[in-house]
Amino acid sequence: MKPPKTLDKRLNHGLLILFIKDKNLVRSANSSFDPHYFILLLIKKGKAQLQVNGNHFRIHPGKLLLISKEEPWSMDKPSPKIHIGVLGFTMKYVLENGIRPLPYSLIRLWSSNFQSIDLMQKEVSWLFLLLQLLGTKVSFPTTSLAHGYVLRHGLYMLLWELSDLFRKDGKVPSITHTAGHMLVLQFMGLLAIHFKREHRVGFYANCLNVTPDHLSKTVKKHTGITVKAHIKTILMEEAKALLRDTVSIKEIAQILGFKTLYGFSKFFKRNASLSPKSYRIKIKTIQ
């Protein structure tokens, strides 16, 4: 008999994402989340028995479930072929990593009791893609500000999407499943990979076979800021982190893909109101 598979918990300071594909992982998932986590379960394939506060539910494909913190839950009796996405997060994580105001109506609903709705297949597919994007960033093997940046924006998109789904007193509106959403996901994935080498909106637009204007308008619609602003913000986050270290400013410019030290210094000062050297001195003074 083969030993049970162990789960990579993918813990990232209060955020945990798992994809369950067999019965061993179902058993392991029952012990992977502590009581402080808000839980989302999304069933893409297969069936299982869910217990929440002693009540039993049979879950099936298309089911989206929200379980509040402190509510005991577990799964068992899975069908042979399953695919279930599980997201868990603490309120502390969301408050510390929020990029825009939270959908408090959703959090209040999530905190009150067990919630469940049925989704169409296209809606499940969209949410699974978003969970998978978040999962790759949570489990990335090295510390990366870029992946953290994408993670924050992805979680923001997910929470607001859920807020829309649960908004109308149990009447389930269709998910905002558009080509625009998919474009944002693809852009975010590219940004985390290429931001140190490519600062041009046109590069990302070409990769995605759209015009720069269309990409920027779409990204702004779904995230609140343009592609150019995303690139600028992630470069500034990375630059400030490097300036806290002992890396020379010339090396930082090269690491972040600037052709000249002058170009990097001009970019940094325009966005921080301080030169890189002055910023480094200021940080050391504070420390």
Domain map (residue ranges) of the chain: 236-286
- The 48-52 sheet, strands edge to edge: 55-59, 48-52, 73-76
What does the pLDDT read at residue 104? 77
Instruction: For residues 41 and 87, give the distance between their C-alpha atoms in angstroms, rounded to a whole number.
Output: 7
pLDDT of residue 259 exceeding 80? yes
What does the pLDDT read at residue 4? 37
> For 153-203, what is each residue's pLDDT tens digit?
888 888 887 887 777 544 444 555 566 777 888 898 899 889 999 999 999
pLDDT of residue 230 exceeding 80? yes
Instruction: For residues 70 and 35, give the distance between their C-alpha atoms in angstroms, rounded to a whole number.
Output: 5
Q: Which residue has the higher pLDDT, 73 or 285?
A: 73
pLDDT of residue 143 exceeding 70? no
Is residue 45 within 8 Å of residue 61, measured between CB atoms?
Answer: yes
For residue 60, the one-letter residue type is H
Contacts of 127 (CB under 8 A, 6+ apart): 42, 64, 85, 119, 158, 161, 175
pLDDT of residue 2 exceeding 70? no
- Please state the rounded mean pLDDT for residues 46-63: 92
What does the pLDDT read at residue 176? 55
Q: Which residue has the higher pLDDT, 174 or 214?
A: 214
Sequence-ordered alpha helix ranges (H) in the chain: 23-29, 91-97, 104-112, 121-138, 145-165, 179-194, 201-207, 212-223, 227-243, 249-255, 261-272, 276-286
Class for the domain spanning 236-286: mainly alpha
Instruction: For residues 87 and 264, give the distance between their C-alpha atoms in angstroms, rounded to a whole number.
Output: 39
Residue 139's pLDDT band (boundaries 50, 70, 90)? low
- In percent, the amount of the chain with pLDDT more than 90 equals 47
What does the pLDDT read at residue 5? 39
For residue 25, the one-letter residue type is L
Give the mean pLDDT of the chain: 85
Q: Which residue has the higher pLDDT, 189 or 248?
A: 248
Instruction: For residues 7 and 25, give the distance between their C-alpha atoms in angstroms, rounded to a whole number.
Output: 7
The neighbour count for residue 282, using CB atoms within 10 Å, is 13
How far from 180 is each of 102, 110, 131, 157, 205, CA to CA, in Å?
22, 27, 17, 12, 13
